[in-house]
Each structure stands twice: as C-alpha cells, then as structure tokens.
Amino acid sequence: MKGTIVNFRLSRHVQKCNHMIILIDDVDNREKAGKLVGKKIAWKSPAGKVISGEIRAAHGNKGAVRAIFETGMPGQSVSQKVDIQ
C-alpha cells in the first residue's frame, strides 16, 4: 500500500519533526484510516537510507493518518511516497 507525506504535525508554535501527516491511496474516511492504526511505515531517502515508523492515529475526517517515525524527518520528505506494510 502506498501513501504520500503531506506535512509535519504542527501546532501554533512548534513543529514536531518526527510526526508526519500522511494521505493514503484508496482511504477516504476516518473509519478506513482507523483500521490502519498500528501498521508499519517506511520512507526511503534519495540516498537509500530507510526511515521507518508506525501509524498511530487517524487525522481528520478525510482519511489522513498520523505517523510517528523513529528519527526526525527531513524537509525533502514532504510530498514523497511511503510504503505501508
């Protein structure tokens, strides 16, 4: 299954560098997104390094999810594809 990183998780004053918002193909509501909680996720950098994480919660009502990665994500990861196992 594939998804796209949309943005970092933000608040008014803070950006959490290892929390990302992800839109997943063929997921268009909160119920479908909730079924993916707990799945592993991986992003591969252009240099070949793999950063893995886990889907922790649904985000909003349009099918987006919140994922927490093991390390901070670079800005170049925004709008890139991720693999969901």
Question: For the chain, how many residues are written?
Answer: 85
Looking at residue 70, its pLDDT comes to 95
For the structural domain made of 2-84, what CATH number should be given? 2.40.10.190
CA atoms within 13 A on the CB side of 77: 27
Instruction: List own/partner pairs for 8-11 with CB under 8 A and 24 or more apart.
Output: 8/73, 8/78, 9/66
Q: What is the pTM of this model?
A: 0.90
Domain boundaries, the chain: 2-84
Residue pLDDT, tens place only, 27-84? 999 999 999 999 999 999 999 999 999 999 999 999 999 999 999 999 999 999 999 9
Average pLDDT over residues 7-34: 95
Could you give the CA distance from residue 31 to residue 70 in angstroms, rounded to a whole number? 26
Alpha helix stretches (DSSP H) within 1-85: 30-34
